Amino acid sequence: MLFNVKERLQSLRMVASLAAFLKNPTQLDSVFAVARSLQGSPLATQMQRHLLENPAMAALVAEGWRPAPIDLARLAALPEGSLGRTYAEQLQRLNLTPESLIDPRPITTPAEYITHRLRETHDMVHVLTGFGIDGPGELGLQAFNLAQVRSPWPSC
């Protein structure tokens, strides 16, 4: 029987990272490890193709748009119940800093751009959808991402 060694290794990396995630789903590193295990996979390629077919996303990628730095104090001063304030409160509750979410490395390909944007918006999508940061919440968010952007993980 013939099998593709590269695909098998990628599958093993994904299973190992999923096991680490399920053991400790609130650790940001375990979330990112699952995403890294999917890079270069057929699922990631499908998601990237789907996103780049959207003219608005293709324009962002083409211009290399990056968000302004996140100012947690400014967001926390917004009205109660607003997206910005809820997002700031969640980051503070999780002891996350904006710097821990923004990857400062240069972006050289459309795939890298998409990876950066999905990683940078992961916690905001938690706020928007209401999915918690526990294991079931993370899995619910993955189902949402799969339906919305064909992404099997939010930051692959």
| pLDDT, tens only, 80-89 | 999 999 999 9
Distance separating alpha carbons of residues 32 and 27, to the nearest angstrom = 9
Highest mean pLDDT of the ranges 33-42, 77-86, 124-133, 147-156: 77-86
- pLDDT above 90 (res 128): yes
- pLDDT above 70 (res 62): yes
pLDDT score at 156: 42
Question: Which residue carries 């998409």 as its tokens?
Answer: 114
DSSP state of 40: T
The pLDDT > 70 percentage for the chain reads 73
The pTM of the full predicted model, rounded to 2 decimals, is 0.73
CB under 8 A, 24+ apart: contacts of 134-142: 134/25, 134/26, 135/21, 135/22, 135/25, 137/25, 138/21, 138/25, 138/31
Joined together, the tokens standing for residue 94 give: 């999780």
Tens digits of residue pLDDT in 7-26: 666 666 666 666 677 677 66
Distance separating alpha carbons of residues 30 and 22, to the nearest angstrom = 9
pLDDT-derived band at 155 (thresholds 50, 70, 90) equals very low
pLDDT-derived band at 90 (thresholds 50, 70, 90) equals very high
Mean pLDDT of 36-63: 84
DSSP state of 87: H
